[in-house]
Amino acid sequence: MSRIFTTPVSAVYPHYVTKVEKKGRTVAELHQVIQWLTGFDEATLQRHLAQETTFADFFAAAELNPRVDLITGSVCGVKVQEVEDPLMRSIRYLDKLVDELAKGRPMEKVLRS
């Protein structure tokens, strides 16, 4: 079991915020990406952050977007579509979406519209 599974999402979330804001994107856009992936509205996301929900519990409670299979490419040299563990794949999906947002990709493309 990977250490990231038991890491609170709130421990990594500030890094996501820093990454996207450094590149001129907003926290609102980050939340839009998280909502697209997980189905969590603003209140639910804030509750998970406040309760220090682990990544395992965060994604167990999420209803992944049915279009997640459209998320392809590499994160840290690993192709997300080839990750076998479903939880790790979900975490990599989030990482990939945050990367795309930070790189300035249009929101329509990040959200696979």
In contact, 104 and 23? CB cutoff 8 Å: yes
Place 76 in a pLDDT band, splitting at 50, 70 and 90.
Answer: confident
Write out the two tokens for 83.
């990750």
Place 14 in a pLDDT band, splitting at 50, 70 and 90.
Answer: very high
Is the entire prediction scored with pTM above 0.85?
A: yes
Give the whole-angstrom CA distance, residue 72 versus residue 59: 19
* CB-CB neighbours of 74 under 10 Å: 13
Q: For the chain, which residues make up each domain, given as ranges? A: 3-104
In contact, 63 and 38? CB cutoff 8 Å: yes
**Tell me: domain 3-104, CATH 3.40.50.300, correct?**
no
Q: Which residues contact 28 (CB under 8 A, 6 or more apart)?
A: none
